[in-house]
Structure 1
Amino acid sequence: MSEAPATLKKTGGYYGTSAGCCKDARTWGGRTLAGIFEIAEAGGKKYFFRLTAPDGTVVAVSPLFNTIKAAAAGITAVRENAATGLIVDMSRSRRRPLPSGRLATG
């Protein structure tokens, strides 16, 4: 039986899940995480998420969502699609995607 993924929540300055808690959400059990999705409120009961690298660099920012649940669903969609998504170069060089995810020139 597989365990449901833990949800990261910040409470009293600590990030916690069903698996435990830590002071810095970028490390878990002494290991650095690959990235972190952070849900934030944009005001007016709108929410967005951002993906940050281990060094804190913001890698991506979502559009606004009406609920936290919708923002979490957006994170799930990104997580499910990012690993299998093709890289398509839409620049002037007109490169075409290869099945491996590398870009071909010409």
Structure 2
Amino acid sequence: MSEIKYTADHEWIRTDGDVATIGITDFAQNALGDVVYVDLPGVGRTFASGEAIGEIESTKSVGELIAPAAGEVVEVNDEVAGDPTLVNSGAESDGWLVKVRFSESPELLDEAAYRELTA
């Protein structure tokens, strides 16, 4: 398993072979507040870089899950769809959102660069 990388859209990405697990960062879930609804794409859905592939609704606002690169959804976290509070209790663990297979390499930030972005 590789280390976690980040996007400027406040998502974390961990790759395992050719599959990448994506979720929102702890910083993002804190900014959103209590998550009350998560809309995730279907398995097999293809997407372009920069496309919204999901939606996260909280008591404060609605945010989008943005694809950092083109690819295809290979798995969704059905537990989060059934219990959106998992995003708050484990944004960077059990609250992961989708697993994808990228068809191009996303531009990602390391932890230091992400911390600088959110400072």
Q: TM-score, normalised by structure 1?
A: 0.29
Structure number with the higher helix fraction is: 2
Q: TM-score, normalised by structure 2?
A: 0.27
Query: Which structure has the larger Rg?
Result: 1
Higher relative contact order (CA 8 A, sep 6+): 2
